[in-house]
C-alpha cells in the first residue's frame, strides 16, 4: 500500500514519536501539535536542506530571523488587519464555527454566493447555520502593562512581513544589487476557524519563505525560475515522487488583488491534492505599501541606469508541517516480505531522522556490546544522527528501523570478533533488505 489513509499516518506519527497532540494529557488543543524525538529530527533535516538549497547555494539570497511580534502598523500597511479573513458560519445550537467555503465545497469567498450555496446545508451536527460572515484570523495580544486599545498587537500571521520591513537593512548591509532575495524560517499564527486534517491546517505553523526583489521587466523569467526551483527541490532534494505532485494556477478570483500571477504545487495528501508550495508574483505592492505607511524611501536606485523604482517581488513560500506530512505520506509503504507485512518509510537518507542504527547481535554478550559500541562511536562522530538499538531480536529491530525510515542497520555478530571475518560487520539495506559484509575500516565510505 503506497496511498496511506490519514488515520494510518496519524497512528504512525504517534506510535513512533514523530508528532504528538499538544497538551494531550489535558485532552489536546485543537490546531496545535508537538514534534516528538523523530519528528524534530526529520523537520530539522528538511529545514536544513531547504536553507542549504535556498540560501547557501545562492550568492544573492540572504537570511533573516524576524521577531514574532512586530509593530501593529506593519499589519495595517500589509492589509492583514482589514483583509486577513475567512468566511465563517456558526451552528445556531452548538455555536461551533466552520469555514463557510469548506461546507459549501467551493473556493469562492463571496458572501452572497456562499449564502446561496449553503441555504440547504446543515452543520456536521445536523443543525441550522447562521449566515456567512468574515472572521479575521490574526491572533491578538497586548504589549505593555495595560491591556487597552493602545497596546493591541498581533502574533504574526506570516513571516514575510519582517522580510519587507528589513529589505532596506539587508540591501545596505550586504551591499546587495538587484536581483537579490531574503529568506526566513519561522513560526506564524492563524486563528483558523476549523483546523483539520492533522498537521495540514493548524493554528501554529512554521513557514519557509523567500522574497526575491527584482527589476519589473524581469518578472516573467524570474517567476518561472522559482517555480522550477520549488518543483526540483521536492523531487531531487526530498525524494518526493513527481506522480504525487501537480501544478495549480490561481485564477483571477483566487489571486490576491495585488498579485500578477500565482501558482501552487499541490501534493496528493490522503484527503486529495492540496496546496503545498506557493510561488507568487506580488508585484511592487508590499514595498509600495510599507513605503507609503512608514514614510521611508524603499525605492531602489540603479547606479548604472540612474533609474529609481520600486522593486517587484517574487515569493516562494512553503509550510514546514505540510512538507513534513507530504514527505511521510510519499515515503510510506506496506510490503510483504517472506509472508509478513512490513511498514517502511523510504525516506531519502539525507533527511531521515537517523542515518544508521547500530546493534550487537545479542545484548547479553559483553564482547559483542563492546565492539558494537566502538562502531557506534565511530559512526556517530562521522554522521551524528546514529541510533543505538539493542531492544528485542534482530528481526524486530529491523522492522522498527524500517518503520522510522533508517536507511541502514549495522549489526555486530560473533563473526565480527574472530577468524577471517574479524573486524567486519553486516550492513542491511532498508529498501532492498539485502545484507552485505563490510570491513569496519570501509564502513563510513560504504554508508556514505
Query: Per residue in 49-73, pLDDT tens?
Result: 999 999 999 999 999 999 999 999 9
Grid cell digits, residue 91: 451552528
Which of 263, 296, 329 is a domain's end point? 329
Q: Where in the sequence is the domain holding 128, given as residue range(s)?
A: 85-136
**Has residue 176 been placed in a domain?**
yes
Do 117 and 142 lie in a common domain? no
Question: What residues form DSSP beta bridges with 300?
Answer: 309
Do 147 and 239 lie in a common domain? yes
CA 382, 384, 389, 395 dihedral sign is negative
**Has residue 76 been placed in a domain?**
yes
User: Of 415, 111, 180, 164, which is closest to residue 286 (Cα–Cα)?
Assistant: 164
**Has residue 338 been placed in a domain?**
no
Q: Are strands 85-90 and 133-136 parallel, antiparallel or unpaired?
A: antiparallel
Do 22 and 115 lie in a common domain? no
CATH of the domain at 417: 3.40.50.800
Do 222 and 130 lie in a common domain? no
**Has residue 1 been placed in a domain?**
no
Do 131 and 143 lie in a common domain? no
Measured CA to CA, the distance from residue 342 to residue 334 in angstroms comes to 6
Do 308 and 229 lie in a common domain? yes
Measured CA to CA, the distance from residue 214 to residue 370 in angstroms comes to 59
Measured CA to CA, the distance from residue 211 to residue 198 in angstroms comes to 28
pLDDT given for residue 1 in this prediction: 53
**Has residue 56 been placed in a domain?**
yes
The pLDDT tens digits along the chain (448 residues) read 578 999 999 999 999 999 999 999 999 999 999 999 999 999 999 999 999 999 999 999 999 999 999 999 999 899 888 777 788 898 888 888 888 988 998 878 888 999 999 999 999 999 999 999 888 888 989 999 888 878 889 999 999 999 999 999 999 999 999 999 999 999 999 998 889 899 999 999 999 999 999 999 999 999 999 999 999 999 999 999 999 999 999 988 888 888 999 999 999 999 999 999 999 999 999 999 999 999 999 999 999 999 999 999 999 999 999 999 999 999 999 998 888 889 999 999 999 999 999 999 998 899 999 999 999 999 999 999 999 999 999 999 999 999 999 999 999 999 899 888 898 999 999 999 999 999 999 999 999 8
Do 176 and 232 lie in a common domain? yes
Residues 150, 185, 33: CA angle, nearest 5 degrees? 80
Do 39 and 168 lie in a common domain? yes
User: Of 400, 397, 402, 399, which is closest to residue 412 (Cα–Cα)?
Assistant: 397
Whose cell is 468566511? That residue is: 87
Do 256 and 165 lie in a common domain? yes
Measured CA to CA, the distance from residue 59 to residue 56 in angstroms comes to 7
**Has residue 63 been placed in a domain?**
yes
Query: Per residue in 75-106, pLDDT tens?
Result: 989 988 877 778 889 888 888 888 898 899 88
Measured CA to CA, the distance from residue 78 to residue 207 in angstroms comes to 18
**Has residue 346 been placed in a domain?**
no
Rama region for 175: left / alpha / beta (φ>0; ψ in -120 to 50; rest): left
pLDDT given for residue 376 in this prediction: 95
**CB neighbour class for 414 (10 Å; exposed up to 12, middle 13-18, buried from 19):** middle
Measured CA to CA, the distance from residue 151 to residue 145 in angstroms comes to 8
- Contact (Cβ atoms closer than 8 angstroms) between residue 428 and residue 411: yes
Number of domains in the chain: 3
pLDDT given for residue 84 in this prediction: 72
pLDDT given for residue 114 in this prediction: 92
Q: Please provide residue 272's backbone torsions phi and psi, each rounded to the nearest 5 degrees.
A: 110, 180
Do 164 and 41 lie in a common domain? yes
Which of 115, 136, 157 is a domain's end point? 136
Question: What DSSP assignment string belongs to 19-41?
Answer: EEETTGGGT--TT-EEE-HHHHH
Do 432 and 317 lie in a common domain? no
CATH of the domain at 174: 3.30.930.10
pLDDT given for residue 160 in this prediction: 94
Do 266 and 412 lie in a common domain? no
**Has residue 415 been placed in a domain?**
yes
Which of 121, 136, 151 is a domain's end point? 136
Q: Which residues contact 60 (CB under 8 A, 6 or more apart)?
A: 176, 177, 179, 180, 181
CATH of the domain at 91: 3.30.40.230
Amino acid at each position: 500500500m503506497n496511498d496511506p489513509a490519514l488515520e494510518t499516518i496519524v497512528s504512525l506519527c504517534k506510535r513512533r514519536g514523530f508528532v504528538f497532540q499538544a497538551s494531550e494529557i489535558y485532552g489536546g488543543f485543537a490546531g496545535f501539535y508537538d514534534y516528538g524525538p523523530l519528528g524534530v529530527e526529520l523537520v530539522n533535516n528538511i529545514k536544513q536542506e531547504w536553507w542549504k538549497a535556498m540560501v547557501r547555494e545562492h550568492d544573492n539570497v540572504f537570511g533573516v530571523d524576524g521577531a514574532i511580534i512586530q509593530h501593529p502598523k506593519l499589519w495595517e500597511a500589509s492589509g492583514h488587519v482589514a483583509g486577513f479573513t475567512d468566511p465563517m458560519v456558526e451552528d445556531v445550537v452548538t455555536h461551533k464555527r466552520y469555514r463557510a467555503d469548506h461546507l459549501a465545497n467551493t473556493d469562492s469567498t463571496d458572501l452572497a454566493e456562499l449564502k446561496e450555496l449553503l441555504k440547504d446545508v446543515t452543520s456536521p451536527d445536523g443543525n441550522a447555520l447562521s449566515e456567512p460572515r468574515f472572521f479575521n484570523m490574526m491572533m491578538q495580544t497586548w504589549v505593555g502593562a495595560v491591556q487597552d486599545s493602545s497596546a493591541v498587537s498581533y502574533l504574526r500571521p506570516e513571516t514575510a512581513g519582517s522580510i519587507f520591513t528589513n529589505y532596506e537593512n539587508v540591501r545596505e548591509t550586504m551591499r546587495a544589487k538587484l536581483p537579490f532575495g531574503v529568506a526566513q524560517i519561522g513560526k506564524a499564527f492563524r486563528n483558523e476557524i476549523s483546523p483539520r486534517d492533522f498537521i495540514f491546517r493548524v493554528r501554529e505553523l512554521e513557514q519557509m519563505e523567500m522574497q526575491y526583489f527584482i527589476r519589473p521587466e524581469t518578472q516573467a523569467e524570474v517567476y518561472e525560475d522559482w517555480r522550477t526551483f520549488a518543483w526540483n527541490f521536492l523531487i531531487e532534494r526530498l525524494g518526493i515522487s513527481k506522480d504525487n505532485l501537480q501544478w495549480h494556477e490561481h485564477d483571477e478570483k483566487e489571486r490576491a488583488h495585488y498579485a500578477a500571477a500565482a501558482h501552487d504545487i499541490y501534493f496528493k495528501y490522503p484527503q486529495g491534492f492540496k496546496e503545498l508550495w506557493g510561488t507568487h508574483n506580488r508585484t511592487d505592492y508590499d514595498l509600495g505599501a510599507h513605503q507609503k505607511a512608514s514614510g521611508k524611501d524603499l525605492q531602489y536606485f540603479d547606479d548604472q541606469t540612474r533609474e529609481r523604482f520600486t522593486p517587484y517581488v517574487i515569493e516562494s513560500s512553503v509550510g514546514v508541517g505540510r512538507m513534513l506530512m507530504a514527505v511521510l505520506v510519499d515515503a510510506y509503504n506496506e510490503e510483504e516480505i517472506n509472508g509478513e507485512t512490513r511498514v517502511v518509510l523510504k525516506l531519502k537518507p539525507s533527511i531521515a531522522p537517523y542515518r544508521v542504527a547500530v546493534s550487537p547481535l545479542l545484548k547479553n554478550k559483553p564482547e559483542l556490546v563492546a565492539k558494537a559500541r566502538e562502531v557506534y562511536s565511530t559512526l556517530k562522530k562521522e554522521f551524528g544522527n546514529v541510533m543505538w538499538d539493542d531492544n528485542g531480536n534482530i528481526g524486530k529491530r529491523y522492522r522498527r528501523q524500517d518503520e522510522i525510515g533508517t536507511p541502514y542497520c549495522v549489526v555486530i555478530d560473533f563473526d565480527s570478533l574472530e577468524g577471517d571475518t574479524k573486524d567486519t560487520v553486516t550492513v542491511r539495506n532498508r529498501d532492498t533488505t539485502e545484507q552485505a559484509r563490510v570491513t569496519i575500516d570501509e564502513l563510513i565510505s560504504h554508508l556514505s
